[in-house]
Structure 1
Amino acid sequence: MVFDLLSSLRGIAKLDQVRIDNNAFRLHYKATVILLVASSILVTGRQYFGDPIDCIQRDDIPQNVMDTFCWIHSTFTLPNALGKQVGVDVVAPGVDNYKPGEKRVYHRYYQWVCFVLFFQAIFFYIPRYLWKIWEGGRLRSLVLSLRNPVLGSDERSEQIALLTHYLKTNMRYHDSYFACFVFCEILNFINVIFQMYIVDAFLGGAFSTYGLEVLKYSEMDPETRVDPMVKVFPRVTKCTFHRYGSSGDVQRHDSLCILPLNIINEKIYIFLWFWFVILAVVSAWVIIERMLIICFPHFRYLYLRSAARLANRNHLTDVLDHARIGDWFILHLLAKNLDSLHFRELIKELRSSLSEEGEKFKPRNSIETDFTSK
């Protein structure tokens, strides 16, 4: 399954000829996945093909040894030194003389940022992957050539007749199709909340309020404010290197390390904070809309009407009176994929076909009728 997911990522930037979801869904598996993969590639290039760390070393310690040691074993800052004046009390925020017993914050996450971003992208694609499996290409088969506005009258009549026959024959049998899609939408919402929690744990509990603190920072007094981005992603840190001296005693060497990679990391995560908040709000609103559509049939008419403005209102009402929630969902997807004139003809033909066998159907205008067994 993992390899299938990775191979599927190659096509995320392509425009879908047949849309089997909505704009909110595409924000998760297109926009977010592209953003996360691009960020992962950017960090990877800087980390493994650039110079992610530079440490000031003693003359007798090779530069590459000190840099490699500090990169592998991580660097640290002192929280008590974050509020001290730079250039007077300390050389950089959080960098000061260490006293035994003083609290130190180690920064190990920067080694894993590129991997975490990539695996986050996979998690955001999973709901899309599941929906494609459950959808099974049904909508693509139903659309046929009716997306094309220039279609011969004979061909158009034949394809509309085929589609009408399918919809009439399978009326009231699409509820599971709709339920799978709603499950994937709920999974999108759960995933973005889960991702916010994971990133917060990854950054030591600093991500949950990261964006708010950055906004507050711009309004604070420049003389006393502490940049939260520097606090979470320090550009200058300390590293302690131990080695044996000439007499065999353990010698300790403190070094200042510059982390230019954190300039990129801080920008990525401040953008991700706002993006995840927006995604969570949009996804929550989509779930509320789904509940309204399930509970109030009139909302189905309004949504279908907005997607099929050329269709006759009375025809839409008559068709929806015979349709369950799954049938409405199929019609709504068809309205977004078919040419408007073709969809108008489809609704007209479907209404006529249902009217001919009207004695077999009863109007369905309440939530109870949508989920009762046949």
Structure 2
Amino acid sequence: MESLFSSLKTFFKRPPVIIDNLAFRLHYRGTFIVLVACSLMVTSKQYFGDPIDCISKDDIPNKLLDTYCWIHTTFSIENAWKKTVGHEVPYPGVDKATDGQKRVYHAYYQWVCFVLFFQAAFFYIPRFLWKAYEGGRVAKLTENLNAPLGSDNKRIELLAKYLKVYEKRHNHMFYFYSFMEILNLVNVLVQMMIMNRFLGGEFTSYGWDVLQFTEWDWSVRYDPMIKVFPRLTKCTFHRYGSSGDVQKHDAMCILPINILNEKIYVILWFWFYMVAIISAITIIYRLTTLLFRQVRLSRTKAHCSIVDRNNLETVLDRVSVGDWFLLDMLARNMDASCFNRLIELLKGNNINAKV
């Protein structure tokens, strides 16, 4: 199992330079890792066995029947979900097939690993766009300024000169980053809609149904996870008989893979709703940083507690929201004493504006 997830270890390492917030990292690191890990588990036959095993009383080879039913999908009988198991039906959704009965076909299990992987890729796109747009600017500006003993006063002065020369020219960074946060929210909402469509409209209420399952009366109780991810289904195989007539063979198929799938999508249901709520709160917070200077002041002060509040307030009164956004990222990546010195220089307003 360790070898299975060894490729994900690099995503747990702290980046040398922080250019985003925790909510942003929840998308391209947290959700990305969860989705890729789930995709790897679904494809790991050695840990969870064969994905499908079909049984039939006829002389059809089991391996052939397994392959056929996996490729051509299996189905359940709609009106057999709530019948009494052991008396009316052998398993929820499995019943004698007659003409006119509504069948629910299950084909998603063939695509789960691919869908999870592509979803993970989409969660990384905003990070890729923001990193390309930022272009390593913060890393270059804070080079050798993240250690108290290695602080270079000359570099701090050069950084202060840069900020003075390019004062009120960083709004584009703030607005692009805000757009990426909106894109994160749109992405998670679209992904939830895709998953709902992928699971036949069952994903939207899937988590609530599972939570309410334990409160149902035993006389009418059936596991909602079994309806979405049935562990036993039906499959019909047609072939020519010895006389040349078409023969129909009825088979029942066990889907061990769905034991894993149902757990994965319960976790994803709660995870996606959590990420969507946090993303919406983040956008509201981003709007407050745009409208209220005191929020920006408190935010940057929290990153560098030793900086003089009056000096910081004087600087933020003069600069634009984009300049504050860059200063806030510098505060997160610079040593506190270096950042305090930078604010003192910017507040002094006596910097020679020549780089």
TM-score by length of 1: 0.89
Q: Tell me the SS of whatever aligns to 2:114.
A: helix
1:299 shift after superposition: 1.3
2:180 to 179, 184, 191: 184
1:175 shift after superposition: 0.2
Q: Distance in 2 between matches of 1:223 and 1:348?
A: 73
For structure 2, list consecutive stretches of 5 or more residues without a partner in the other structure.
1-7
Query: What is the CA deviation profile of residues 16-42 of structure 1, one whole-angstrom value per residue up to 9, with x for unaligned ones?
Result: 010000000000000111111111111
- Determine the structure 2 residue equivalent to 1:99: 98
Question: Contact 2:78/2:101 (CA < 8 Å) preserved in 1?
Answer: no
Alignment of 1:356-371 (within 5 A): none
1:212 shift after superposition: 0.9
Q: Tell me the SS of whatever aligns to 2:43.
A: helix
- Determine the structure 1 residue equivalent to 2:308: 312
- Determine the structure 2 residue equivalent to 1:141: 140
Q: Distance in 2 between matches of 1:330 and 1:250?
A: 73
Question: Contact 1:27/1:279 (CA < 8 Å) preserved in 2?
Answer: yes
Asked if 1:295 is matched to 2:291, the reply is: yes
- Determine the structure 2 residue equivalent to 1:345: 341
Could you say if the C-alpha distance between residues 207 and 287 of structure 1 is closer, same or farther in structure 2, counting changes exceeding 3 Å? same
Query: What is the CA deviation profile of residues 302-352 of structure 1, one whole-angstrom value per residue up to 9, with x for unaligned ones?
Result: 211222211001001100011100011011111111111221111111111
Q: Distance in 2 between matches of 1:35 and 1:47?
A: 20
1:13 shift after superposition: 3.7
**1:148 counterpart letter in structure 2:** A
TM-score by length of 2: 0.94
Question: Contact 1:12/1:29 (CA < 8 Å) preserved in 2?
Answer: no
Count how many residue pairs are aligned between Structure 1 and Structure 2: 347
Q: Which has the higher contact order (CA 8 A, sep 6+)?
A: 2
Runs of at least 4 residues off by over 6 Å? none
Asked if 1:263 is matched to 2:259, the reply is: yes
Alignment of 1:1-374 (within 5 A): 12-46=11-45, 50-151=49-150, 155-352=151-348, 354=349
Could you say if the C-alpha distance between residues 143 and 16 of structure 1 is closer, same or farther in structure 2, counting changes exceeding 3 Å? same
**1:287 counterpart letter in structure 2:** I
**2:253 counterpart letter in structure 1:** C
For structure 1, list consecutive stretches of 5 or more residues without a partner in the other structure.
1-8, 358-374
Q: Tell me the SS of whatever aligns to 1:349.
A: helix
Q: Tell me the SS of whatever aligns to 1:105.
A: strand
Query: What is the CA deviation profile of residues 98-130 of structure 1, one whole-angstrom value per residue up to 9, with x for unaligned ones?
Result: 121100000000000000000000000000000
**2:169 counterpart letter in structure 1:** Y
Question: Contact 2:49/2:256 (CA < 8 Å) preserved in 1?
Answer: no
Q: Distance in 2 between matches of 1:192 and 1:229?
A: 23
Question: Contact 2:161/2:351 (CA < 8 Å) preserved in 1?
Answer: no
Query: What is the CA deviation profile of residues 110-158 of structure 1, one whole-angstrom value per residue up to 9, with x for unaligned ones?
Result: 000000000000000000000011000000001111111222xxx5211
Could you say if the C-alpha distance between residues 48 and 311 of structure 1 is closer, same or farther in structure 2, counting changes exceeding 3 Å? closer
- The percentage of aligned residue pairs carrying the same residue is 54
